Structure 1
Amino acid sequence: MNRRSFLKKALGSLLALLGLSGGTYYYAKEIEPVLLHINKNKIVSDKLSQAFTNFKIVQFSDTHIGFHYTLEQLNELVSKINGLNPDLLVFTGDLVDKPHTYHWNETIIQTLAKLHAPHGKYWIYGNHDHGGYGTEVVLEVMENAGFTLLQNSHTTIDVKGNKMVLAGIDDVMLGKPNMDTTLHQANPDLFTILLAHEPDYADTVVHYPVDVQLSGHSHGGQVRFPFIGHLYTPSYAEKYVQGKYWIGQDKLLLYVNSGIGTTRLPYRFLCKPEIHLYTLEGQR
């Protein structure tokens, strides 16, 4: 850690200690974690036909069910997502915080099965999904809820004979991501969206024919302070933390979702939970 990073984290930790020990503590623990923000974005591309104009994609990520995020809250989230009438739904990893200790039951499947999107529901593994022996149980839950796994693979989304590619890689930290396998036989001329749990993997993705990367993992830092920003983010979410980034001379557009739940510490401060709503606009 360099001197600048050390001073930033030391000052941030002091502010956190002072601020969260007062009235801010209640807000950060009880109020902000339930203030869901809908982050709306328009994606315009001349690689998309006009048939995709107003096509809506909803991304949610990092629910971390079991760590201060309940199935009742998940049910409310499902209702809000369905209210947006997505054409396509994507989940970018970390369903349950600790799969090996979580009390799995049919309720979580029934709740996720309520989500509706006429062009499909897709998901990728996050590090918490693979971690804690969760690889198989999370897969079973998501499949039973009607989600399709993209693990170093891709699919084609067809709207009235017009197509785009939706791809997904395995988790970077605990899986075996492989971009060559992921895009094998994919048409490079088609507009391509990649789901990748860890946002910093974009520095690898930029060398492939991908137009947009959708990620989570960072939680936006969970706790942020004015002038300082986030105090901490996990590995592979240290460079790209929150929001929108253009990478490689505007070659790759990256969106980093701040997630729904929390992990490690049950707080959010100046970093509301969010879902992303992307509205496409075709130009050909």
Structure 2
Amino acid sequence: MNRRSFIKKSVGSLLAFIGLSGGTYYYSKEIETHLLKITKETISSPKIDSVFNNFKIVQFSDTHIGFHYSLNQLKELAMKINALNPDLIVFTGDLVDEPNNYHWTPELNNILQSMQATYGKYWIYGNHDHGGYGTDIVYDVMEQAEFHLLQNTHAMITKDNSQFTLAGVDDVMLGKPDLSAALNELDPNLFTLLLAHEPDYADTTAKFPVDVQLSGHSHGGQVRFPFIGDLYTPLLAEKYVQGKYYLNDEKLKLFVNSGIGTTRLPYRFLCKPELHVYTLQNDQV
């Protein structure tokens, strides 16, 4: 850790101790964790066929069910997602906080299955999905809920004989990501959107013909302070933490979702749970 990072973490930790042990503790634990932020973004590209104009993609990430996030909350989330009338739903990893300790029930499958999108539902593994011997369990749950896994592979999203590519890589920390395999035999002239759990993987993605990367993992830091920003983010979410970034001379756009649930600490401060709604647009219109 360099000197600047050390000072930032030290000052931030002091503020967190003072603030979160005082009047803001209740707010950060009981209120902000239930306040959903819906972030709307337009993704424009000449590679997007005009038939996809106003095509709506909803991304949710990092629910961490079982760690202060309940199935009742997930049910409410599913209703809010459906109310957005998405064309496509994508989940970017970390369904359950501790798969080996979680009490799996059919209700979870039913809630996930209730999410509806005209052109399908897709997901990728996060580090918590692979952790705790969860790889096969999470796969079975998502498969039964009609979410299609993108693990170093891709799917073609087709509308009126036009297409764009939706690709996904395995989790970087505990999986075996292979972007070359995910993009194998693809036409680079097609618009390509990549799901990758860890946002810092974008530095690798920038070397490939990918237009947009959607990530989670960071939780936006969970606890943020003015002028300081996030106090802590996990490995591979230290460079790109929250919001929108441009890489490779703006050829690659990265969007980092702040997640739904919490992990390690059961509170959020100035970092609300987040849904992303992306609207595709041909920018030659």
Q: Which residue does 2:176 correspond to in 1? A: 176
Q: Does 1:88 align with 2:82?
A: no
Instruction: Return the offset for 1:22.
Output: 1.0
Find the aligned partners of 2:100 and 2:186 in 1 and give their Cα distance. Answer: 36
Q: Distance in 2 between matches of 1:283 and 1:4?
A: 41
Residue identity opposite 1:57 in structure 2 = I
Quote how far apart the aligned CAs of 1:248 are: 1.1
In the aligned structure 2, how far is the partner of 1:93 from the partner of 1:236? 14
Write the letter of the residue equivalent to 1:199: P
Q: Which residue of 1 aligns with 2:118?
A: 118
Partner of 1:199: 199
One-letter code of the match for 1:94?
D
Aligned to 2:14: 14
Residues of 2 paired with 1:236 and 1:273: CA distance? 20
The Cα shift of 1:185 comes to: 1.2
Classify the secondary structure of the residue corresponding to 1:154: strand
SS in 2 for 1:253: strand
Alignment of 1:154-233 (within 5 A): 154-233=154-233
Closer, same or farther in 2 for the Cα pair 1:189/1:51, shift >3 Å?
same
Task: Tell whether the 8 Å contact from 1:154 to 1:186 is kept in structure 2 after alignment.
Answer: no
Inter-partner Cα distance in structure 2 for 1:29 and 1:212? 33
Deviations 1:44-93 (A, max 9, x none): 11001110000000000000000000000000000000000000000000
Mapped partners of 1:205, 1:33: distance in 2? 31
Give me the whole-angstrom Cα distance separating, in 2, the residues matched to 1:283 and 1:7: 43
Q: TM-score normalized by structure 1?
A: 0.99
Q: After superposition, what is the alpha-carbon deviation per residue over 1:97-153, rounded to whole angstroms, capped at 9, x for unaligned?
A: 000000001000000000000101000000000000000000000000010000000
Contact 1:49–1:283 (CA under 8 A) maintained in structure 2: no
Match of 1:277 in 2: 277
**Any conservation in 2 of the 1:63–1:259 contact (CA below 8 Å)?**
yes
Task: Please report how far the alpha carbon of residue 283 of structure 1 lies from its aligned counterpart in structure 2 after TM superposition.
Answer: 3.9
- 1:68 match: 68
1:2 CA drift (Å):
0.8
How many percent of aligned residue pairs carry the same amino acid?
68
TM-score of the pair, normalised by structure 2:
0.99
Contact 1:35/1:273 (8 A) holds in 2: yes
Shift of residue 251 of structure 1? 1.1
C-alpha distance in 2, partners of 1:142/1:112? Answer: 8
Alpha-carbon separation, structure 1, partners of 2:272 and 2:199 = 18
Detail structure 1 runs of 4+ shifted over 3 Å in the superposition: none
1:187 CA drift (Å): 1.5
- Note the residue ranges of structure 1 that are not aligned, 5 or more in a row: none
Which amino acid letter does the alignment assign opposite residue 78 of structure 1?
Answer: A
Aligned equivalent of 2:42:
42
For residues 170 and 221 of structure 1, what CA distance do their matches in structure 2 show? 22
Look up the match of 2:264. 264
How far, CA to CA, are the matches of 2:88 and 2:21 in structure 1? 42
Amino acid at match of 2:147: F
Q: How many residues align?
A: 284
Q: What corresponds to 1:252 in structure 2? A: 252
**SS at structure 2 position matched to 1:155:** strand
Stretch deviating more after TM superposition (15-24 or 66-75):
15-24
Aligned residue type for 1:15: L
Secondary structure of 1:193 counterpart? strand
Partner of 2:52: 52
Q: Secondary structure at the match of 2:238?
A: coil
**One-letter amino acid of the counterpart of residue 71, structure 1:** L
Are 1:137 and 2:123 matched, yes or no?
Answer: no
Q: Which secondary structure state, in structure 2, belongs to the residue aligned with residue 186 of structure 1?
A: coil
Q: 1: distance between equivalents of 2:280 and 2:189?
A: 17
Aligned amino acid, residue 134 of structure 2: G
Partner of 1:103, secondary structure, is coil
